[in-house]
Amino acid sequence: MLVKEAAQKCAESSLETHWGDGFPVDPVRVASGMGITVHFGGLPADTSGFIRKKPNRETEIFISEADSPLRQRFTCAHEIGHYVDRTVLQVVPDENFGFVDKRDGTVNDVHEFFANEFAGNLLMPAVEVRARFEQGWDTIRLAGHFGVSTAAMTVRLRRLELGYP
């Protein structure tokens, strides 16, 4: 199975188990359902968020309070992706892990790629995006419905090959 497909399946499962219906999806609520505590606070200027898991301790996500609410939502969903990567897929089984996500947005390894794909699928599920797109919704309306930035929505539409180059 490709990383992209694994991210989609894991996000769909997370939605079914920890969310329910309605949009926008609340990633903090999803995280809480998975036993993850989310904190908002001051982080270094170049850091959007990070996840930390120490042996025999709860998993924690830290989100920059300086970021916009839309950025915070995507960062939280991205960090949940790291959690799922390490605990569900167990590509690299480990009870002690941490990922720090910098603002430069570079994706330089499979873990970052998975986390980004997971976040996109969690916040903007393919079935829902396709249904609204087919109803003629534009990028701005879609972004509002899913609670994401227009940039994130544009990337998602491209990933789903919905008429965007």
Number of domains in the chain: 1
Question: What is the pTM assigned to this prediction?
Answer: 0.87
- Measuring CA to CA, how many Å separate 136 from each of 84, 142, 152, 156? 33, 10, 18, 16
Residue 96: pLDDT band (50, 70, 90) is low
- Residue 164 inside a domain? The answer is no
Residue at 67 is within a domain: yes
3-class SS of residue 63 = strand
Per residue in 118-161, pLDDT (tens digit) is 999 999 999 999 999 999 999 999 999 999 999 999 999 999 99
Domain membership of residue 155 (yes or no) is no
Helix or strand or coil: residue 106?
Answer: coil
The verdict on residue 140 lying in a domain is no
In a domain, 159, yes or no: no
Q: What is the CATH number of the domain that holds 101?
A: 1.10.10.2910
Q: Which domain holds residue 26?
A: 3-123
